[in-house]
Structure 1
Amino acid sequence: MPTQTLSADQRILYSCYAHTSREGEQFIAQHVFGFVFSGSQIMYVGDKSYPYQAGDFRFFRKNQLCKFVKQPPADGGEFMSLSIRLDKNTLQRMSQELNLHADEPFNGDAILTLEPNELLTGFIESLKPYLKAGQEIDPLLTELKVKEAVMILLQTNPQLKNVLFDFAEPGKIDLEAFMNKNYKYNVDISRFAYLTGRSLATFKRDFEKIYHTSPNRWLQQKRLDDAHYLIKEKGWRSSDVYMEVGFKDLSHFSFAFKKAFGIAPSRM
């Protein structure tokens, strides 16, 4: 069964995958409060991994590039999880209405594991009837449930105030260090620019000063070099390599690889 949306604006999402593992990557654009019903999941952000099992509550900070692997239970069945997206507009309204503001920068991890408690458990239980019914939640109710999730998080994890109500844009960071760590993510150049605290024009200018080539050319060559190493030295198959190094399409990867190295990846 594919992912099911429980609200029209996709702020409440129910994920359900049967009998097979799934892996991929995503950009977490908004804060997310999540719960795993069954199965397991590993999230990778930078050089850190975050494993989760059934019964785990977690909080994802916004503006993160991550990879994930979702596994169904070992004895069969489905991977099931629930995600509540804590959107910026709702948080800004709550900030004004309730006089809630960040006091200082938050320096914790990109993903936080939350200790189970009655409030968190009760909130998840309140959504189960909608999961069973398979129906879309009314927009007004969605708004109330998102606000309820925020208030419960603040009561059970007060330190999250400095995350939820920090509306600053990403600050300018070391471009070279960021790109060397994140080049395998297949996202638009504009996304890399935003996450390094730059306009697109400034990002391109700073990038060429460092690498003496354009971002697109550098990304493709960097990914192809990785693929060449994995295929030649590690024995990987081209069908397994292309997504690992940041290509979305196998045919495009094969064409680019042959153009760069003079041989198709499947013939190495």
Structure 2
Amino acid sequence: MNKILHPEDCKAIDKLIVYMNENPQENFDVSKHASMIGFSVSKLNKSFKVYMGIGPASYFRNIKMEKARKLHVEDAYTWTEISMIFGYADLASFSKAFKRIHGFCPRNATHS
């Protein structure tokens, strides 16, 4: 547990992380997610970064892209279907976000 944050704040952030993992198809809404755990937007952004070493929006995007990669590896969906599942307007937007996280375009992802 992070000693800089109050233990209750850490529990609240953990609750949000569970929610993010269970709902990767949602778009990140900092106001909604902050109020969900009783934080202000400012407190969420600052506390999350202290606790996780990364901001909440970036963390959520990482979750989405990892789950997207896993869906493709399992051959469950095409990249176009995956981009729609995770709320992207088009495949190009999804591909850009995927590359930012994984360092390569979805079309270059292997099935291994």
Q: Same fold (TM over 0.5)?
A: yes
State the partner residue of 2:88.
248
Contact 1:176 1:210 (8 Å CA) reproduced: no
- Give distance in 2, aligned partners of 1:196 and 1:175: 7
CA-to-aligned-CA distance 1:226-265 (integer Å, 9 cap, x gap): 1111111334211111233x33323211112123334322
Contact 1:204 1:215 in 2 (8 A): yes
CA change 1:260–1:175 in 2 (3 A) is closer
Structure 2 unpaired stretches of 5+ = 1-8
Mapping for residues 13-92 of structure 1, pairs under 5 Å: none
The CA distance in 1 between the partners of 2:17 and 2:95, in whole Å, is 23
Report the residue type matching 1:255 in the other structure.
Answer: K
| Aligned residue pairs, count | 96
Task: Give, in whole Å, the separation in 1 of the partners of 2:95 and 2:57.
Answer: 17
Rg: which structure is higher?
1
Alpha-carbon distance in 1 for matches of 2:83, 2:14 = 23
In the TM superposition, what whole-angstrom CA distance separates every residue of 1:173-198 from its partner, at most 9, and x where no partner exists?
A: 72222232235221421111111111
Residue 12 (structure 2) pairs with residue 174 (structure 1): yes
Letter in 2 for 1:249: A
Please name the residue that 2:4 is paired with.
none
Describe the shift of the 1:261–1:202 C-alpha distance in structure 2 as closer, same or farther (beyond 3 A): closer
Contact between 1:193 and 1:199, CA under 8 Å: does it hold in 2?
A: yes
1:201 matched to 2:42: yes
Larger relative strand fraction:
1
In structure 2, distance between residues paired with 1:181 and 1:247: 16
What's the RMSD between the two structures over aligned residues?
2.3
Deviation at residue 267 of structure 1 after TM alignment = 4.3
Query: Does structure 1 retain, via aligned residues, the 8 Å contact 2:27–2:87?
Result: yes
| Letter of the 2:88 counterpart | K
Q: Deviations over 1:48-82 (max 9, x none)?
A: xxxxxxxxxxxxxxxxxxxxxxxxxxxxxxxxxxx
TM-score (norm 1): 0.32
CA distance in 2, matches of 1:204, 1:221: 16
Counterpart contact for 1:231–1:238, Cα < 8 Å: yes
Task: Write the distance in 1 (CA, Å) between the matches of 2:34 and 2:17.
Answer: 10
| TM-score of the two chains, using structure 2 as the length reference | 0.69
Letter paired with 1:220: R
Which structure has more helix as a fraction of its residues? 2
